[in-house]
Structure 1
Amino acid sequence: MMAGSGEHFKALVRSHGSGDDDAFYSVALQVAAQAARRGHHNLATDLKAAVDNSRVERPQKVTSIAQPRGDLSDLVIASHPVVGLKELVLPDDLATQVRRILNEQRQRKQLLDYGFEPAHRILFEGPPGTGKTMTAAVLAQELSLPLMTIRLDSLMSKFMGETASKLRVIFEAVTDQRGVYLFDEFDALGGDRSGNDVGEARRILNSFLVFLENSSAESLVVAATNHRSILDKALFRRFDMVLNYSLPDTQQAAAVMRGRLGSLAKGVRWMSLEDEMFGLSHADLVRAAESAAKSAILAGSPGVTLDDIRDALMSRQAASLGR
C-alpha cells in the first residue's frame, strides 16, 4: 500500500516543478512520518535518510529556472546564461561597478542585518552593442540566478489598466522568485514622450516608478536603454546605480576580438588595426571576429591573418554606416 496520500504526491510534484527544494524536502518528510504511522518503518527510514543525504550533497543551492506560468509566461522569457565575468570586456571604472553589484549581492544578508539593502535597481545606458545586455547575463550567471527578460511587446498596452496589472505581475515575481529581471530597450517604457499619448505614457511611467520604488531586494531589476536623453528625469533617482556604457577604445576592442578568436588569433598585431576598429561596438567587433574566423577555417588556415581581420572589420564599418 502506498504510504503517501494523493495530496502529498501532488505537493511533491508542485514543489519540484517550482524548484522549491525546502518545500520538496518538507513534504517528503511528511510522507516518511505517515509511512511510520502505518507501520512501514523501513520505507520511513529510507525516505528520511534520502532527504538527509540529499541535503548534505547539495549544500549550495543554485536557483533553477522555473518556467514562468500563468500570466507571467506571456511577459517573461527565462534563461540561464553561461557567460561569465572573465568574458566581459569593460573599462576599468565600469568593471569596478559591476564587481560592486556582485559583491553587495553576495553579501546581501550581512547588509540586510545592518539595515542596508544591496544595490538591486540598476540602470544601464549607452550606445547599442556596448555590453549592456551581456552585463545582465553575467550578473545572472555569477550569482547563479535565472535571467528573466521582460517582453515589452507583451507588457505594453494602449489601456493603462492592462499595462499596470501586467507590471504588478512582474514585480510580484520579483518578490517571489529571486532572479535578474531585465527590462531591455527600456526607453519604450520610460521615455519622456510628447504628443497625444503623453498623458497615457505618464501614467504608465508613474505606475512603473511606484513598483520600482517598492521592489523587493530579493531580486535585481535591471533596465537597459540606448537613449538616455529621452528618459524621464524622475527615473534616475529611483535607481540604486546608473552604469554608463560607451564604445570600446583600441585596447578594449582588441581584447573583445581576442576573446572571441582564442587560439586562432596568435601573432596578430592588433595596434595596426586601430583605424579599422575605431567606432565599432562590442557586438560589431564580435561579429567581425566570427567572420574572420570562418574565412580562415574555410580556407584551411590554422589561424586568422591580419588581412582576414581587416576585411571583416571594414565590412562591419560599412554595415554600421548603413544603419
Structure 2
Amino acid sequence: MARADLLLALVKSGAGADDLAFRRAAEALIAEEEAKKHGVLANQLTDALTRRRPQNSASKVTSLTRVEGVAALLHEREPERQISDLVLPGMVRQQCADLLEEHHRRDLLRSHGVEPRHRILFVGPPGGGKTSLAEAIATELAVPLLTVRYEGLIGSFLGETAARMDTLFSAVRVRPCVLFFDEFDAVAKERGDTHETGEIKRVVSSLLLQIDKLPSHVIVIAATNHSELLDRAVWRRMQVRVELPQPTRAGKIEWLKAWSARTGLDFGLSVRTIADRLPHVSYAELEEFALDVQRKTILSGPDASGRSATQQLLEQWNKRAGADTNEP
C-alpha cells in the first residue's frame, strides 16, 4: 500500500492545481513502487503521468528501463561495498551516518514537512575513496548505483548535450538510486572562465537546474579532484560537502589489517612495514598492491610464501614510484 503522506501530497497538489508538487508526489509514489519491485504498477503509473502531459513536454517522465538510449548515458550496477569496509576520517564517517539516518527515517522528516538531504559533493585526490564511498552509500540504502557516462552525455552539436541531459534526468527521477557524477568538474566548470564556450556554459546552467528539480529519493553524489574548477553555484547547491584526504600511515595500517582479515591473506610482513615502504600511495593503489600480492601468492601454489611475494612486489612498486618521480 502506498504511504499515506504521498497519497495526501498527491491529493492536495492535485486539488490545488500545483503542477510541480503533483509531479514530485507522483514521481515519489512511482519510486516507492519500483523499490517494492511492483514493476507493473510502476509502469502503469508512469504511463498515466506521461499521458497527462503533452508529448512534446521537456519534463516527460518515463521508466528508466524504457527510455530509448539511456544505456549510453548511465552505467548501472548493484553496489557491494559497505561503509564498514572503508577507512574514513571520523568526521566523514559521521557525515555519512547522519545522511543515512535521514534517508532511513525519511517518513519522520516528511511528517514535519522536511526532506532528507540528497545532494552531496566529494572532494579529494585521485584514489582517495570517492567512488568507493558512493558505492557504499548506495549499498547502505539498498538502491542501485548509476554512474553518468560522459562519453554518451556530451554531444558535439549545439543543444545535443542538453537534450541528452533531459533524457538522463527524466529516466532517473522515478526510482530510488544514487546518481554518481565522477570528475564532476568535466561538466560543471566555472561559467566565468573566459576559455570556455557558450555551449559549455549553457550545459552547466541546464545541469544545475536539473539537479535542483530532482526528488530526494535520487541521491546525487558529485566527485572531483579539482574543486577549484567547479562553478560557484555548485557549492551552493550541495547540501553535504565531504573532504577525503590522502591516506595517513595509520589509515593505511588499518586498511591493510582489514584487508588481511577479510581475505585471509598473510602478507608475511607486518602491515606497519608495508605502510612505511609505500609512503605515497592512495587507497586505490593500496588495494591494487594487495590484489597483486594475492594473485602472486595464489599462482605460486599452496606452499607459496606471502612474505616472498610481498617483498618482491614492494621492490617493484618502489621502482615504479621512483620512475614516476623522475618523469619530466
Answer whether TM exceeds 0.5 for this pair: yes
The one-character-per-residue Cα deviations of 1:290-322 (angstroms, maximum 9, x if unpaired) are 122233333432644562563354256347546
Calculate the TM-score normalised by the size of structure 1: 0.74
Match of 1:258 in 2: 257
Residue 317 (1) aligns with residue 317 (2): no
The one-character-per-residue Cα deviations of 1:140-163 (angstroms, maximum 9, x if unpaired) are 111110111111111112334221
Residue 279 (1) aligns with residue 280 (2): yes
The one-character-per-residue Cα deviations of 1:35-81 (angstroms, maximum 9, x if unpaired) are xxxxxxxxxxxxxxxxxxxxxxxxxxxxxx97564132221111101
Q: CA deviation at 1:135?
A: 0.9
Unpaired runs of 5+ residues, structure 2, are 1-33, 44-62
CA distance in 2, matches of 1:26, 1:180: 19
Name which of 101, 104, 107 aligns with 1:103: 101
1:121 maps to amino acid: R
Q: Is the 8 A contact 2:268 2:307 kept in 1?
A: no
Match of 1:183 in 2: 181
CA distance in 1, matches of 2:259, 2:247: 15
The one-character-per-residue Cα deviations of 1:208-244 (angstroms, maximum 9, x if unpaired) are 1111122211210111111111111111110111111
Residue 203 (1) aligns with residue 202 (2): yes
Match of 1:301 in 2: 304
Deviates more, 1:167-176 or 1:106-115: 167-176
Q: Is the 8 A contact 1:265 1:303 kept in 2?
A: yes
CA distance in 1, matches of 2:317, 2:77: 31
What is the root-mean-square deviation in Å for CA atoms of aligned residues?
Answer: 2.8
2:247 maps to amino acid: P
Q: 1:154 to 1:143 in 2, by over 3 A?
A: same
Q: Is the 8 A contact 2:267 2:293 kept in 1?
A: no
The one-character-per-residue Cα deviations of 1:104-143 (angstroms, maximum 9, x if unpaired) are 1111121122121111011111111111011111111111
CA distance in 1, matches of 2:274, 2:107: 47
Q: 1:26 to 1:127 in 2, by over 3 A?
A: closer
CA distance in 2, matches of 1:207, 1:318: 44
Q: CA deviation at 1:189?
A: 0.1
Match of 2:165 in 1: 167
Residue 289 (1) aligns with residue 287 (2): no
Q: Is the 8 A contact 1:123 1:242 kept in 2?
A: yes
Match of 1:225 in 2: 224
Q: From the CA coordinates, give the structure whose radius of gyration is larger.
A: 1
Q: Is the 8 A contact 1:74 1:154 kept in 2?
A: yes
Match of 2:10 in 1: none
Match of 2:131 in 1: 133
**Percentage identity across aligned positions?**
30
Q: CA deviation at 1:23?
A: 5.6
Q: 1:90 to 1:68 in 2, by over 3 A?
A: farther
CA distance in 2, matches of 1:255, 1:319: 28
The one-character-per-residue Cα deviations of 1:226-270 (angstroms, maximum 9, x if unpaired) are 111111111111011111111110121122233334322376422
Residue 142 (1) aligns with residue 140 (2): yes
Higher relative contact order (CA 8 A, sep 6+): 2
Match of 2:49 in 1: none
* Secondary structure of the structure 1 residue equivalent to 2:75: strand
Calculate the TM-score normalised by the size of structure 2: 0.73
Q: 1:312 to 1:102 in 2, by over 3 A?
A: farther
* Secondary structure of the structure 2 residue equivalent to 1:128: coil
Unpaired runs of 5+ residues, structure 1, are 1-17, 28-64
2:111 maps to amino acid: D
How many residues align? The count is 269
Deviates more, 1:313-322 or 1:176-185: 313-322
